[in-house]
């Protein structure tokens, strides 16, 4: 009997484990913005390229977290914490803390093995959340079980001495000093005399999009208890999480035995391919391209195609007959986020209007007065107006090739020069991490204009008109010992809330098919005017490119008009760009001289997609000592580019771009005047074009 019971129990456990291997647990953010259960981390990872924003509200601390799943096995997070946010009378805690977290998965969950990850909760912060962990998670049906070992704060409820101290005695000691913050504390990671044990469970109720949570935390919140933010803490916390709509979660919990906490989170996957949209003039979102209008008989095929292209968000610039069967067409993409979508639309128009004798078509992209790429296309047969073509025809092919420059075209659109456009819109400028008020903002109207003189010459400018501003309440003054090349930005915000934002004359062109140049002069950005130039060498088909720039600048007056101050300098950088094949990462290194006349290098790492999304980080180290740089020790931050095409019902190349710095200092500062040539031409790089060749095919 006992043997039979044991056999049944073993078979039942085996079946549960086999079934659990088929269950994908729902990943939810913890109070710290990374996957976890309430206030403890788990071993789970989000989907690759997922960007998540989490706000956790509690009397001990409010956490604002931004996390990004950089690779399938590596997650990063930036966290801003306001300790004692409601200003409890009994508390002396006034810290506003910034911290970075990183976690890596050691191995994925298997039938017999849990998922295991290792993480550092405060990688380059002030140490307020210092703690490291190794954690395992295992799904058993609707249950997701987590257990881990913690160091630092996560060892305050210790269970044993630090096992790593047997490897080296240095692991038994942990420093309490973090200096100016912003630096790596390599000697402290996974160190300390003791380790703690934490764990938790999540039970999924998929029918109601709910999850029940319970967690045991080895962090006793000793720091907060010493500052009277909380009188005592219980290791157990309980909560419930609801997902009212996809990728949005709401949570409520009973924390540390005496506090109610609330949490809201939202996520978006930056790698999602944007659905193809119809040309802006036609149809509704999600429909196929509308058939072209029947042309008038007194127009050439080129004039008909050019007219249709213009209404579709393209400029058809010229065409040249290369031989009896080959046609080269030059275009400019105005509206399409994916260059492949612009090519697809153009090829559809060529199929419709160009004489059938041209069985081979080469389309050449022309952007910012330079030829960027060409696509070789073999045309299918055509029957009737805007006939549907069987996409299975094997002879339809596209090949990405170096730009084929057109001299003396047979057809050309007669653009009139000078010509110009203007635009107006509303904008919101945030000012983050002021200790007195973590979020201030300005609502403004922006009026901009561009005049194209032809041959690559352009005059552009913009004026910002204040509507409402909270910047007058900023009382913090710069304590920098360096030239105040950026830390005086507060004076610009307060004294020039309405200002001339930019007024530049630029010249763009190319020396060869692979060497591009840019020259510019005028009011370059909010704080500087100047004159300079840039060159880019981009070998076709290579993942590498090389750039150089030199810019002479002079600081503007605080009133935001045309006046200049005495401070002037020359800055310049040599740059190497690498469109790596690894997880869509772009890597750039810029070495040279910065605005405060310091010398050093900047490393940029961006996960970039052809859909227009880009998420990344940068760090700059120069010859400025950490103590002279001040709080934060060196310049670093996060980079975001959000394509508007993802959220609008029409095609647009517009995007919201931002740099998020934990703190603004003067060391390692560059201009904010615009994008580099590499950034401008990135969407036409060979790796993006070749990746989406199938999307170029007209239907």
Bigger pLDDT: 102 vs 29 = 102
Question: How would you class 204 by CB atoms within 10 Å of its CB: exposed for 0-12, middle for 13-18, buried for 19 or more?
Answer: buried
Mean pLDDT of 621-631: 91
3-state DSSP assignment of residue 203: strand
At residue 17, the pLDDT reads: 37
Bigger pLDDT: 188 vs 193 = 193
At residue 483, the pLDDT reads: 94
At residue 277, the pLDDT reads: 62
Whether residue 645 contacts residue 275, with contact meaning beta carbons closer than 8 Å, is answered with no
At residue 417, the pLDDT reads: 87
Q: Tell me the pLDDT tens digit for each residue of 254-271.
A: 998 889 999 999 999 998
Confidence band, pLDDT 50/70/90 cuts, at residue 392: very low
At residue 297, the pLDDT reads: 54
At residue 284, the pLDDT reads: 32
Q: Tell me the pLDDT tens digit for each residue of 581-618.
A: 999 999 999 999 999 999 999 999 999 988 889 999 99
Residue 430: both structure tokens together? 């945030």
Q: Tell me the pLDDT tens digit for each residue of 80-116.
A: 999 988 888 778 888 888 899 999 999 999 988 999 9
State what percent of residues in the chain have pLDDT above 70. Answer: 89
User: Cβ atoms within 10 A of the Cβ of 459, count?
Assistant: 16
Confidence band, pLDDT 50/70/90 cuts, at residue 416: confident
Q: Closest Cα partner for 158 from 44, 225, 235?
A: 235
pLDDT reading at 199 higher than 60: yes
Rounded Cα–Cα distance for residues 34 and 45 (Å): 8
pLDDT reading at 443 higher than 50: yes
Name 190's Cβ contacts closer than 8 Å, sequence gap at least 6: 132, 151, 162, 164, 171
Confidence band, pLDDT 50/70/90 cuts, at residue 23: very low
Domain boundaries, the chain: 2-269, 301-415, 419-687
Could you give phi then psi for residue 311, rounded to 5 degrees? -75, -10
Mean pLDDT of 320-342: 92
At residue 548, the pLDDT reads: 97
Whether residue 22 contacts residue 84, with contact meaning beta carbons closer than 8 Å, is answered with no
Q: Are 2-269 and 419-687 in the same CATH fold?
A: yes
Mean pLDDT of 349-371: 92
Confidence band, pLDDT 50/70/90 cuts, at residue 654: confident
Whether residue 309 contacts residue 333, with contact meaning beta carbons closer than 8 Å, is answered with no
Query: How many residues can be counted in the chain?
Result: 699
Could you give phi then psi for residue 256, rounded to 5 degrees? 50, 20
**Candidate from 63-72, 88-97, 314-323, 555-564 with smallest mean pLDDT:** 88-97
At residue 383, the pLDDT reads: 38
Mean pLDDT of 566-587: 96
Confidence band, pLDDT 50/70/90 cuts, at residue 452: very high
User: Cβ atoms within 10 A of the Cβ of 44, count?
Assistant: 26
Bigger pLDDT: 275 vs 197 = 197
At residue 649, the pLDDT reads: 65
At residue 395, the pLDDT reads: 41
Q: Outline where DSSP puts E strands in 30-114.
A: 36-37, 40-41, 50-57, 61-71, 74-83, 96-107
At residue 176, the pLDDT reads: 67
At residue 126, the pLDDT reads: 76
Q: Tell me the pLDDT tens digit for each residue of 271-316.
A: 887 766 666 554 333 333 333 344 455 578 999 999 999 888 899 9
Fold exhibited by the domain 2-269: Porin (2.40.160)
Rounded Cα–Cα distance for residues 416 and 468 (Å): 40
Q: What is the DSSP letter of 171?
A: G
At residue 562, the pLDDT reads: 95
**Omega prior to 418 cis, within 30 of 0:** yes
CATH number for the segment(s) 419-687: 2.40.160
pLDDT reading at 662 higher than 90: no
Rounded Cα–Cα distance for residues 36 and 260 (Å): 18
Rounded Cα–Cα distance for residues 153 and 681 (Å): 47
pLDDT reading at 9 higher than 60: no
Mean pLDDT of 138-164: 95
At residue 181, the pLDDT reads: 62
Q: Tell me the pLDDT tens digit for each residue of 37-60.
A: 999 999 999 999 999 999 999 999
| Residue 144: half-sphere exposure toward Cβ, Cα within 13 Å | 27
**Omega prior to 187 cis, within 30 of 0:** no
Rounded Cα–Cα distance for residues 28 and 240 (Å): 11
Q: Tell me the pLDDT tens digit for each residue of 525-550.
A: 999 999 999 999 999 999 999 999 99
Average pLDDT score over the chain: 87
Mean pLDDT of 233-246: 94
Mean pLDDT of 186-190: 84
């Amino acid at each position: 009997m006992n043997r039979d019971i044991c056999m049944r129990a073993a078979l039942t456990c085996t079946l549960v484990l086999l079934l659990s291997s088929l269950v994908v647990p729902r990943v939810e953010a913890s109070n710290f913005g990374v996957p976890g259960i309430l206030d403890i981390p788990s071993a789970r990872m989000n989907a690759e390229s997922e960007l998540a924003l989490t706000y956790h509200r509690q009397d001990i601390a409010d956490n604002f977290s931004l996390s990004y799943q950089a690779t399938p096995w590596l997650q990063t997070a930036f966290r801003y914490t306001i300790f004692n946010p409601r200003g409890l009378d009994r508390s002396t805690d006034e810290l506003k803390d910034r911290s970075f977290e990183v976690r890596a998965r050691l191995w994925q969950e298997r039938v017999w093995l849990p998922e295991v990850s290792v993480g550092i909760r405060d990688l380059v912060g002030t140490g307020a959340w210092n703690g490291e962990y190794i954690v395992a998670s295992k799904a058993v049906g609707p249950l997701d079980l987590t257990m881990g070992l913690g160091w630092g704060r996560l060892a305050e409820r210790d269970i044993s001495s630090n096992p790593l101290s047997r490897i080296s005695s240095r692991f038994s000691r942990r420093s309490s000093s973090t200096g100016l913050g912003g630096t790596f504390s390599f000697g402290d990671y996974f160190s300390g005399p003791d380790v703690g044990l934490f764990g938790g469970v999540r039970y999924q109720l998929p029918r109601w999009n709910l999850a029940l949570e319970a967690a045991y935390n080895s962090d006793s919140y000793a720091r907060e208890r010493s500052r009277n933010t909380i009188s005592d803490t219980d290791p157990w916390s309980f909560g419930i999480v609801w997902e009212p709509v996809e990728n949005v979660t709401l949570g409520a919990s009973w924390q540390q035995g005496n506090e109610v906490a609330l949490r809201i989170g939202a996520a978006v996957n930056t790698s999602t391919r944007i659905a193809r949209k119809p040309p802006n003039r036609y149809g509704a979102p999600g429909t196929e391209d509308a058939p072209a209008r029947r042309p008038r008989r007194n127009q050439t095929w080129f004039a008909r195609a050019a007219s249709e292209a213009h209404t579709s968000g393209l400029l058809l610039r010229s065409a040249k007959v290369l031989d009896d069967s080959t046609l080269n067409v030059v275009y400019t993409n105005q509206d399409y986020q994916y260059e492949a979508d612009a090519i697809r639309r153009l090829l559809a128009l060529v199929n419709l209007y160009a004489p059938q004798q041209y069985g081979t078509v080469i389309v050449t992209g022309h952007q910012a007065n330079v030829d960027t790429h060409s696509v070789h296309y073999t045309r299918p047969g055509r029957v009737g107006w805007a006939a549907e073509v069987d996409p299975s025809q094997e002879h339809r092919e596209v090949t990405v090739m170096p730009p084929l420059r057109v001299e003396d075209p047979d057809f050309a659109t007669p653009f009139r020069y000078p010509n110009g456009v203007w635009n107006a819109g509303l904008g919101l400028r945030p000012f983050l991490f002021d200790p007195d008020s973590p979020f201030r903002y300005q609502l403004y109207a922006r009026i901009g204009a561009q005049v194209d003189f032809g041959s690559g010459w352009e005059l552009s400018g913009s004026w910002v008109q204040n509507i409402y501003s909270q910047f007058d309440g900023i009382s913090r003054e710069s304590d920098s010992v360096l030239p105040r090349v950026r830390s005086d930005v507060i004076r610009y915000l307060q004294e020039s809330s309405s200002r001339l934002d930019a007024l530049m004359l630029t010249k763009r062109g190319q020396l060869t098919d692979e060497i591009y140049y840019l020259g510019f002069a005028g009011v370059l950005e909010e704080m500087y005017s100047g004159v300079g130039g840039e060159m880019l060498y981009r070998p076709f088909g290579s993942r590498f490119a090389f750039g150089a720039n030199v810019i002479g600048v002079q600081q503007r007056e605080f009133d935001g008009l045309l006046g200049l101050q005495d401070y002037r300098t020359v800055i310049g950088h040599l740059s190497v760009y690498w469109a790596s094949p690894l997880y869509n990462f772009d890597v750039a290194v810029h070495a040279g001289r910065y605005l405060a006349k310091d010398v050093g290098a900047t490393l940029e790492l961006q996960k970039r997609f052809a859909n227009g999304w880009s998420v990344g980080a940068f760090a700059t180290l120069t010859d400025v000592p950490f103590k002279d740089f001040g709080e934060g020790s060196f310049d670093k931050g996060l980079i975001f580019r959000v394509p508007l095409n993802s959220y609008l019902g029409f095609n647009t190349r517009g995007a919201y771009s931002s740099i998020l710095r934990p703190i603004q200092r003067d060391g390692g500062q560059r201009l904010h005047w615009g994008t580099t040539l590499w950034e401008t031409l990135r969407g036409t790089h060979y790796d993006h074009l070749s990746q989406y060749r199938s999307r170029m095919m007209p239907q």
